[in-house]
Amino acid sequence: MTIDEKLSHFYDVTIEDAQAKAAGILEEHRKALAQMTEKHKADSQENAQVQIKAETANARREINKALSAEQLTIKRDWTKKQNELKEKLFAEVKTQMENFRNTPDYPAYLESKIKEALDFAEQDKINIYLSPEDSALLPDLVERTKAFITVSAEDFLGGVKATIPHKNILIDHSFAGNFQAVYKEFKFDGGPKHE
């Protein structure tokens, strides 16, 4: 083999070796790039999932905040409407009480309440009071019940009040007392329960 042939053979072997090494390096580089691409895809998907979860949680918070504000507004409106209806209802009750006071049944009602108070007091001293607007009924009630009855300085919308001083007892059958107690305790409960 001549030197030229040896050089040519060396050149061919070196080129083949360089090409094989270059192909190996390229293959390793492709594999590394493929791994980097897969890792980048996985990271991107993970980041996207984290971003989606964060945005979903934020959207839920915003929805809950808006819902809470709307519920508060609805509750305020509901309470306002209930108060309006309560005032309207109790204005009607007051009118009905005033109408009752103008019926023939009212003096009989007062008489029965006075007799209840007298029965309760038994032998104890009792002070019985009428509301000032019922002063016209005083003579007839005194005659019917044989009780000492006084017209009160306090207006209590009708009915009767009585005190038993010895036992420190107040008997309150006044319309104002009952009206205020019912007004204070009244709550809307959604209507009657159906069974």
Please check the confidence at residue 36 and state whether its pLDDT lies above 80: yes
Per-residue pLDDT, 189: 75
Question: What does the pLDDT read at residue 121?
Answer: 92
Check residue 46 and give its pLDDT.
92
Provide, rounded to the nearest whole percent, the portion of the chain with pLDDT above 70: 97
175-185 vs 3-101: helix crossing angle, rounded to 10: 170
pLDDT digits (tens, 9 = 90+) for 91-148: 999 999 999 999 999 999 999 999 999 999 998 999 999 999 999 999 999 999 999 9
Instruction: Quickly state the pLDDT bin for 190 (edges 50, 70, 90).
Output: low
Rounded distance between C-alpha atoms, residue 140 and residue 132, angstroms = 15
The answer to whether 120 and 171 have CB atoms below 8 angstroms apart is yes
Output the average pLDDT for the chain.
Answer: 90
According to the model, what pLDDT value does residue 116 have?
95
Q: Report, as an integer, the average pLDDT of 1-25.
A: 86
Bridge partners (DSSP) listed for residue 129:
150, 161
How far apart CA 52 and CA 139 sit, in angstroms, is 86
| Rounded distance between C-alpha atoms, residue 186 and residue 172, angstroms | 19
pLDDT computed for residue 88 by the predictor: 94
Q: Does an H or E element contain 171, and which?
A: strand 169-174
* Structure confidence at residue 192 as a pLDDT band (50, 70, 90): low
Here the tokens at position 119 are 């029965």
**Looking at residues 152-162, what average pLDDT do you find?**
93
The tens digit of pLDDT for each residue in 55-100 reads 999 999 999 999 999 999 999 999 899 999 999 999 999 999 999 9
